[in-house]
Amino acid sequence: MSKFGLFGKFTVEEHQREELVRILLEAAASMQDLEECENYVVHTSAQDPRAVYVHEVWTSENAHQASLQLEAAQTLIRHAKPIIKDVERVCPLIPQGGKGIS
Amino acid sequence: MSKFGLFGKFTVEEHQREELVRILLEAAASMQDLEECENYVVHTSAQDPRAVYVHEVWTSENAHQASLQLEAAQTLIRHAKPIIKDVERVCPLIPQGGKGIS
């Protein structure tokens, strides 16, 4: 089964960007010991003060789906949902390898 | 100095996608011991058979610029350039943290 990658963009109000970054970094921290999550990097952009990007690599699409049921993820979703104005997935990705994933 | 992130899309002819993936994975391998390069993940996309995406995280923009002068990078550029039809940077990113980078 191939790995599963995501690169997504969240849009929030400018004054709530730090809050979303904090929530997403908390989620990343909660997945430090989750082997199925190989990469979860949170970015902001100098070009768009309302944008927060996340790059994810999972061992499989199923693993990613299952993670959404974890309590940490449910908490993230509850906290983040009210401040997220838009979600865009740049595209679903098939990780081929590289530095930073197994 | 903040970290420097990139998410870029290369477009090639469909039959040359595997070749570009091979070249980019070779580049990633050459950077395994380059501390300034914290993440270099190569993706393809089920939606676009001509696309190859790369997610990069560097300790700084200077470090990224300097890496382009390395012999491995120059070799990559020489090999890849003839088959790359288009290059898009989704946007320059400011990594805030997460799993998979320091």
Q: Could you tell me if A64 and A4 are in contact, meaning their C-beta atoms sit under 8 angstroms apart?
A: yes
A25 CB within 8 Å of a chain B CB: yes
Decide if A40 is inside a domain.
Answer: yes
Q: Which residues of B touch A90 (CB under 8 A)?
A: 7, 90
The number of beta carbons lying within 10 Å of the beta carbon of residue A70 is 14
Provide the number of structural domains found in chain B. Answer: 1
Bridge-based pairing of strands B37-44 and B51-58 is antiparallel
CATH number at residue B37: 3.30.70.100
Decide if B44 is inside a domain.
Answer: yes
Least Cα distance to B64 among B88, B91, B34 occurs for: B34
Decide if A81 is inside a domain.
Answer: yes
B20 CB within 8 Å of a chain A CB: no
B28 CB within 8 Å of a chain A CB: yes
pLDDT tens digits, A49-96: 999 999 999 999 999 999 999 888 898 899 999 999 999 997 789 999
Decide if B100 is inside a domain.
Answer: no
Establish how many alpha carbons lie within 13 A of residue B43's alpha carbon, considering only the half-sphere containing its beta carbon.
Answer: 31
Residue numbers of the domain that contains B73? 4-88
B22-26's contacts with Cβ under 8 Å and 24+ in sequence apart are B23/B76, B23/B79, B23/B80, B24/A98, B24/B52, B24/B54, B24/B76, B24/B80, B25/A96, B25/A97, B25/A98, B26/B72, B26/B76
Decide if B82 is inside a domain.
Answer: yes
Mean pLDDT of each 10-residue bin along chain B, 102 residues long = 92 97 94 93 95 96 93 90 93 89 81
Bridge-based pairing of strands A84-99 and A51-58 is unpaired
Decide if A58 is inside a domain.
Answer: yes
Is the pLDDT assigned to residue A14 strictly greater than 90?
yes
Decide if A47 is inside a domain.
Answer: yes
Give the C-alpha distances (Å, rounded to integers) separating A63 from A4, A57, A59, A60, B82: 9, 10, 6, 5, 38
A98·B54 Cβ contact <8 A = yes
The pLDDT, as a whole number, for residue A101 is 83
Decide if B19 is inside a domain.
Answer: yes
- What ipTM was reported for this prediction? 0.93
